[in-house]
């Protein structure tokens, strides 16, 4: 199985969301079966960050690629829980 791992660090917000989507687009170019977004280094995630994660999920799904978020820290995990997207992004 071909998997692209993307490590995300720092703040995931309006300023950084476009870079995340570009990294996902680049990863999708190789036609992987899955993309794993490792959020262990994310220190903040706002609604723009959550929208970027959902856009990335949609982009991947449109190409038949599974996208999974892993290692979300408590602050990010809570934001994903509150917005109801945690199961979709983590497969949990």
CATH of the domain at 30: 3.30.750.24
Alpha carbon distance 16, 9 (integer Å):
10
Alpha carbon distance 62, 39 (integer Å):
22
pLDDT of residue 18: 97
pLDDT of residue 1: 78
Residues 58-85 pLDDT 10s? 999 999 999 999 999 999 999 999 999 9
Where in the sequence is the domain holding 81, given as residue range(s)?
3-90
Residue 19 near residue 48 (C-beta atoms within 8 A): no
Residues 8-64 pLDDT 10s? 999 999 999 999 999 999 999 999 999 999 999 999 999 999 999 999 999 999 999
91 band by pLDDT with thresholds 50, 70 and 90: confident
Neighbours of 1 (CB within 10 A): 6
- Rounded to two decimals, what is the model's pTM? 0.94
Domain count within the chain: 1
Residues 37, 43, 46: CA angle, nearest 5 degrees: 80
């Amino acid at each position: 199985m071909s998997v692209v791992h993307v490590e995300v660090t720092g703040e995931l917000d309006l300023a950084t969301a476009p870079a995340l989507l570009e990294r996902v687009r680049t990863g999708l170019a190789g036609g992987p079966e899955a993309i794993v977004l490792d959020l262990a280094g994310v220190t903040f995630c706002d609604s723009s960050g959550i929208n970027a994660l959902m856009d990335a999920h949609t982009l991947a799904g449109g190409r038949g690629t599974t996208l999974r978020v892993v290692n979300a820290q408590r602050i990010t995990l809570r934001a994903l829980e509150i917005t109801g997207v945690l199961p979709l992004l983590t497969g949990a």
